[in-house]
Amino acid sequence: MSLQRIVRVSLEHPTSAVCVAGVETLVDIYGSVPEGTEMFEVYGTPDVDVYISPSMERGREPADTRRWHCDAGLEIIVVMNSPSKDLNDGHVQISYYSSRKPLPLAYAVLYLTCVDIALDCDLNCEGRENRSFVDKRQWVWGPRGYGAILLVNCDRDDPACDDQDNCDQRVRCLQDLEDMSVMVLRTQGPAALFDDHRLVLHTSSYDAKRARVFHACGPEDSCEAYRHVLGQDKMSYEVPRSHGDEERFFVEGLSFPDAGFTGLVSFHVTLLDDSNEDFSESPIFTDTVVFRVAPWIMTPSTLPPLEVYVCRVKNNMCFVDAVAELARKAGCKLTICPQAENRNDRWIQDEMELGYVQAPHKTFPVVFDSPRNGELQDFPYKRILGPDFGYVTREPQGSSVCGLDSFGNLEVSPPVVANGRESSGRRVTQVVRDFLHAQRVQPPVELFVDWLAVGHVDEFLSFVPAPDGKGFRMLLASPGACFKLFQEKRKWGHGRALLFEGLVGNVRVNTISINQVLSNENLISYNKFVQSCIDWNREVLKRELGLTEQDIVDIPQLFKTEKRKAVAFFPDLVNMLVLGKYLGIPKPFGPIINGRCCLEEKVRSLLEPLGLHCTFIDDFTPYHMLHGEVHCGTNVRRQPFPFKWWHMVP
């Protein structure tokens, strides 16, 4: 980036100037033109290109082709493309002429020293044929875009440390450097130039709060070699001159994109001229690079699973065993949070959401800790945060959280085009909404959930992988589908078949027949209301996610009212654990017809043609009776998306 440097030449003595390789310098000859001058000639040494720009319309011409009339509109432009070996080893001579004299009236000489300065980083230019036209000061989205990427260094690579890696101003272990982006300052030119010139690396006070820079000042296999030079209270750093031409810097992100922070951070290096004792130092050249902080990305249930989390509490041993068996079939690691740590808080889906961050050089998972702060509140930080596993949270200031701030109310669809939509009623706390919107790569679609007692989208919505179409199906709870199923069974003479008949143990739930369900006007009326709420969300999702009816599967489900809000009448079938093709579905204890639960059979008929395997897990006592289900009691870390987030255009 040129600072439009202008050099004024003198007739009284030669002038010296510093230029940067490939950067234009304007030469002002009009301040000392001898009296009677009508024309001039200008020549440079072979390593100096000299141009004349007669006007904006005519562009520029090589200067050594002819004499030029002294016109105030002319500009003399000099460029050196290679760094100098010695001080003042290039020069330009201007000869002034009058038409009345054959010899020059006077000469002016400009001595030039060229230095090559570049602040470089990985601009992620894959797929671009010519990288020389990339503007480092810009960050461009898309498959042919470019721009450097910075990770928030929010993991904890040193097990002996209590804090995240970006919470202090030290490099505690060499593995920490793998999470940082490399920035290289390259300089070529005479060493003597820097006796009276300085290189300063700098950033704004705004950006200094969002990124930190370490300078490798010694052997890079020692943590002590990395000196904190920019970030937080440090906005500038004079780069010491070493014997080499390269200085390596390591940059870590401190903050994710959020309200008031777009995610862009800029760093600059400026060459300062300090050669004049009578004046303050002046800038000659500035080079700039822009980083974008990588967003936190959620993973949908359609991505392959890597690790399943579940809490062991006093009455869910069989549930944990069933989840463990499902994880074994899916080839997943299983992590069990013991009762001593969860203090009987079993809702691990509500406590956290698992996602990841990604740059060209590194990808690692990051847990987003919800603001609900139940008895599980320490688990994400104390048990999940670690080497190459990051942590982020958002806490509202001065306001309370509600059930909607639990992350059972935070689900992500497979990749689609989304425009975002807001709804009225109870809403997720502002700091969480701001954070999600600011990531940009997964624009939130806010759904209407105020009709639900718990108020979580996973009570009526889930996604499963599919071999055709868009590669997934959206499952929606459907009272209408359930009534239709029961009406069919009654038509075939099974109206006396009972729900909840198979429950065992200490569960005290009255059985109810299909006939009784279909004759309960209050239940029918209330479920028509529930269906209208789900249908409203259905239309929002179709519009915002670009779905058709072929992308949606209606799963039979009934709801009942408690304190004027909806809860599942029988275990909520869409609230399932999705591990690839293996589904862990709440066992509904529906009417037994011909030895089989008709609800289970219906769900199998809808999902198994998609290549999915349905396992029905008994969660009635430990979860359903507490207004939760299988999905609420589990959590999954998944593989990242196969495509790169920077290839999309928000």
Closest CA to 574 of 526, 542, 525, 538: 538
Cβ neighbours for 108, distance < 8 A, ≥ 6 positions apart: 9, 10, 11, 15, 29, 32, 93, 94, 96
Please name which of 228, 234, 235, 273 lies closest in space to residue 252, comparing C-alpha atoms: 228
Beta bridge partners of 613: 582
List helix spans (H) across 440-586: 479-491, 514-519, 521-545
CA-nearest of 582, 584, 563, 585 to 477 is 585
Q: How far apart are CA 108 and CA 11, in angstroms?
A: 5
Asked if residues 394 and 435 have their Cβ atoms less than 8 Å apart, the reply is yes
What's the burial of 111, exposed, middle or buried (CB within 10 Å: 0-12/13-18/19+)? Answer: middle
> How far apart are the C-alpha atoms of 107 and 94, rounded to whole Å?
6
The number of angstroms, rounded, from the C-alpha of 237 to the middle of its chain's C-alpha atoms is 28
The residues assigned a catalytic role are 350, 456, 458, 632
Cα atoms found within 13 Å of the Cα of residue 485, Cβ hemisphere only: 23
Q: Hey, what are 409's tokens?
A: 């109310």
Q: Which of 449, 647, 411, 415 is nearest to 546 (CA)?
A: 415
What CA–CA distance (Å, rounded) separates 101 from 71?
A: 19
Measured CA to CA, the distance from residue 45 to residue 23 in angstroms comes to 17
CB atoms near residue 73 (< 10 Å): 8
DSSP 382: I
State the burial class of residue 467 (Cβ atoms within 10 Å of its Cβ: 0-12, 13-18, 19+): exposed
Q: What CA–CA distance (Å, rounded) separates 428 from 396?
A: 11
Q: Which DSSP letter does residue 413 get?
A: P
Nearest 5°: the CA angle 321, 369, 322 is 10
Which spans in 179-298 are helix H?
205-208
Kind and range of the H or E element at 615? strand 613-617
CA-based angle 619:406:553, to the nearest 5? 60
Nearest one of 208, 207, 152, 153 to 175, comparing CA atoms? 153
| Close Cβ partners of 222 (under 8 Å, ≥ 6 residues apart) | none
Cα four-point dihedral sign 80, 84, 86, 87: positive
The CA distance from 42 to 621, in Å, is: 93
The owner of tokens 């004349």 is 52
